[in-house]
Structure 1
Amino acid sequence: MTDNTQPPRLEIRNLVRRYEGRVVVDDVSLRIGAGQVTCLLGPSGCGKSTTLRMIAGVEMQDAGEIHVDGRLICDTVVRVPPERRQIGLMFQDFALFPHLSVADNVAFGLKGAKEERRARVEELLDRVDLLRHIDAYPHELSGGEQQRVALARALAPRPRIMLMDEPFSGLDNRLRDGIRDETLRLLKEEDTAVLLVTHEPDEAMRMADEIALMRRGRIVQQGAPYNVYTRPVDKAAVAFFSDINVLRAQVNGALAQTPFGQFLAPGLPDGTDVEIVFRPQHVKLDFDRGGRGPLPTPSDGVPARGIVERARFLGNESLVEFRMASDGSRLTATVPNVFVPQTGRVMWLTVRRDRCFVFPLGRG
């Protein structure tokens, strides 16, 4: 838990970076406490890695400040060199030295007496369960083992801050979850502030104490994973975490009328075009009973008639695609376990009102 009486371990204020007149990082600010993991999440090319490089000191910002434990380490005048920032780096490319043993790779950035360096190497390799490979070379290890060596090397100098740029994307899916959890445990034990760059929402949700959602060089939303997921700032924020369905409507008397009934649109003037966004897992399905569906309810609204166009079993859930009878639009629903209705079957769909988001058309 972050101590609010202490300055954050890492604070960046209003960072800006331009390339050939184009702004690629635009007024980015973050605060990360000791032991906290923040994920900078966004699509490729949105400025995540550039932000990391500025914090590491390998690239200079055009404006803004970087502070570590309340001390200014970089602005457009002051610049502490990268090697004195006590910041560790981990990248997708493990960048292990092929001609050095595991022990020498981990010890590469260490200073002090030989005995102290060796003790630190053995301690970390024991914690990542690689002590038995201490004299091996990188080519003798699996990808997951190389990742753990890279982690031990990054932790060896006891950095106060760890910057991680897509560090798990090269791992096999079955290895990835275990390595991520192990990495997170070690970083928490070291009380390291972590800034993790990823374009994978699942990774951010699994690892982060806080998510900063980035788009076109700016942070558009920041908060705990639950809040970012359940209170998205716009349609694009919803879509970044999952597939979406979208209904279009127009506001009249703070209400938007759709085939699923009315949706509240408070604060929007009459005539405003809106998009009602909801995820496939929040669509409820019911069978047709002689041309009738379930009765309307306050929580689920009015049922709308749909015709199955395709259904597929995906392993943990089934995906059903519908053509809506009211206007021919397409909607998708996901159902736990196996549910594969025949093409052409008529069903009734309802949408949970507390899982819908109403945005003015064009927002996000």
Structure 2
Amino acid sequence: MTVTTDPPRLEIRNVTRRIDGRAVVNDVSLSIAAGQVTCLLGPSGCGKSTTLRMIAGVEMQDTGEIWVDGKLICDTVFRVPPERRGIGLMFQDFALFPHLSVADNVGFGLKGPKEARRGRVEELLAKVHLHRYADLFPHQLSGGEQQRVALARALAPRPRIMLMDEPFSGLDNRLRDGIRDETLALLKDEDAAVLLVTHEPEEAMRMADQIALMRDGRVVQQGAPYNVYTRPADKAAVAFFSDINVLRAQVNGALAQTPFGQFLAPGHPDGTDVEIVFRPQHVKLDFDRGGKGPVPTPSDGVAARGVVERARFLGNESLVEFRMDHDGSILRATVPNVFMPKPGRVMWLTIRRDRCFVFPAS
């Protein structure tokens, strides 16, 4: 029995783009299936938007190939025009036509019989909960409503691929989560392959089936959000998703000795300087008991003594900063809900061993 698998809806193979001699996109490869949302995540200027423009056909790559449904649409010689690629675009600027009604904006790019076009417009306006606004104009809508009109317009021609460049960045924080969830449900319903560009880790974690973490023009890590978060490629990958603490140590016998006890450092030769990276939420706090801390355990290691520098309540958690006795460094811990110890209070800190990452010192 022969099992056949469909090709990826969108595939980018070893794409590079140079501007003024600098590789702003450097050997990037991605594969996205129909119905899958992939987030291209990274800081500003790392090449995310340039990658989108090459896929859309607005820019040409210097090397590499772009494929859609197993068919080549662009290399360094052959190029399908942007309007024939079956790709929808949505950007920060919704770019609605101010002189057209909501319904006319949504139906602007549609072809075919009038009744079919009207039916598609009505279907999408109902899905984005704007069917009562069909005759209004963009200036009569809120920012969130304009965003939904732009989404409906981009989806109206039933594109095989949807490219979204920071589409939610202009929305009020209070609206953003709801709009994201509505957008995600509609994109899944349309079965398009979605490539969403964002610099916000929370947005990528919330929306993506796969995350491609990009830095300095390269994709440094790809995978499901859980895997990218819990198995980061390097210290910078950890730091992109959250605040971090760093301990420095030297390896001896595959172990790194610190004031918090030993950490496993397999694969690092003796004498290697390493950094042990961990997030503030994985620091455990205990009270001082007559100058003593908790008993060491295999899961949490040895406790180290610190003095509270300051504590801040952040809404759903508290951030506490400690001045550590062993070297005077600052270590940060987050605690759920309200925990506001006064400055100068002595506490003991331990670190969950299963939430630490050991990397060669940078």
Q: Same fold (TM over 0.5)?
A: yes
Alpha-carbon separation, structure 2, partners of 1:128 and 1:267 = 52
Alpha-carbon separation, structure 2, partners of 1:341 and 1:22 = 50
CA deviation vs aligned residue, 1:80-132 (integer Å, no higher than 9, x gap) = 00000000000011000111111110011100111111111111001111010
Residue pairs, 1:54-203, within 5 angstroms: 54-203=54-203
Alpha-carbon separation, structure 1, partners of 2:191 and 2:36 = 8
Give secondary structure in 2 for the equivalent of 1:240. Answer: helix
Give secondary structure in 1 for the equivalent of 2:100. Answer: coil
1:300 aligns with 2:315: no
Shift of 1:4: 7.7
1:43 aligns with 2:39: no
Alpha-carbon separation, structure 1, partners of 2:179 and 2:108 = 22
Give secondary structure in 2 for the equivalent of 1:320. Answer: strand
Give secondary structure in 2 for the equivalent of 1:153. Answer: helix
Q: TM-score, normalised by structure 1?
A: 0.98
Q: Percent identity?
A: 86
Residue pairs, 1:254-333, within 5 angstroms: 254-333=254-333
Aligned to 1:240: 240
Give secondary structure in 2 for the equivalent of 1:182. Answer: helix
Aligned to 1:22: 22
Alpha-carbon separation, structure 2, partners of 1:32 and 1:287 = 50
Alpha-carbon separation, structure 2, partners of 1:4 and 1:232 = 33
Shift of 1:291: 0.1
Alpha-carbon separation, structure 2, partners of 1:4 and 1:133 = 45
Give secondary structure in 1 for the equivalent of 2:136. Answer: coil
Alpha-carbon separation, structure 1, partners of 2:133 and 2:323 = 58
Amino acid at match of 2:46: C
CA deviation vs aligned residue, 1:135-173 (integer Å, no higher than 9, x gap) = 100000000000000000000000000000000010011
Alpha-carbon separation, structure 2, partners of 1:237 and 1:292 = 36
Give secondary structure in 2 for the equivalent of 1:268. Answer: coil
Give secondary structure in 2 for the equivalent of 1:315. Answer: coil
Shift of 1:235: 0.2
Alpha-carbon separation, structure 2, partners of 1:268 and 1:358 = 9
Shift of 1:174: 1.0
Alpha-carbon separation, structure 1, partners of 2:269 and 2:146 = 58
CA deviation vs aligned residue, 1:228-271 (integer Å, no higher than 9, x gap) = 00000100000000000000001111111111000011111111
Q: Tell me: CA distance 1:20–1:4, structure 2 relative to 1, closer, same or farther (3 Å).
A: farther
Unmatched 5+ stretches in structure 2: none
Give secondary structure in 1 for the equivalent of 2:299. Answer: coil
Amino acid at match of 2:270: D
Alpha-carbon separation, structure 1, partners of 2:116 and 2:254 = 69
Amino acid at match of 1:338: V
Aligned to 1:228: 228
Aligned to 2:335: 335
Alpha-carbon separation, structure 1, partners of 2:140 and 2:260 = 60
Shift of 1:361: 0.5
Q: Tell me: CA distance 1:41–1:323, structure 2 relative to 1, closer, same or farther (3 Å).
A: same
Q: Tell me: CA distance 1:183–1:308, structure 2 relative to 1, closer, same or farther (3 Å).
A: same
Give secondary structure in 2 for the equivalent of 1:45. Answer: coil
Amino acid at match of 2:267: G
Give secondary structure in 2 for the equivalent of 1:26. Answer: strand
Alpha-carbon separation, structure 2, partners of 1:127 and 1:318 = 40
Alpha-carbon separation, structure 2, partners of 1:125 and 1:352 = 49
Amino acid at match of 1:30: L
1:251 aligns with 2:251: yes
Amino acid at match of 1:301: G
Amino acid at match of 2:75: D
Shift of 1:299: 0.1
Query: Aligned pairs, how many?
Result: 360
Give secondary structure in 2 for the equivalent of 1:112. Answer: coil
Give secondary structure in 1 for the equivalent of 2:8. Answer: coil
Unmatched 5+ stretches in structure 1: none
Shift of 1:47: 0.2
Amino acid at match of 2:183: T
The two structures, once aligned, show a CA RMSD in angstroms of 0.8
Alpha-carbon separation, structure 2, partners of 1:148 and 1:287 = 51
Alpha-carbon separation, structure 2, partners of 1:328 and 1:361 = 20
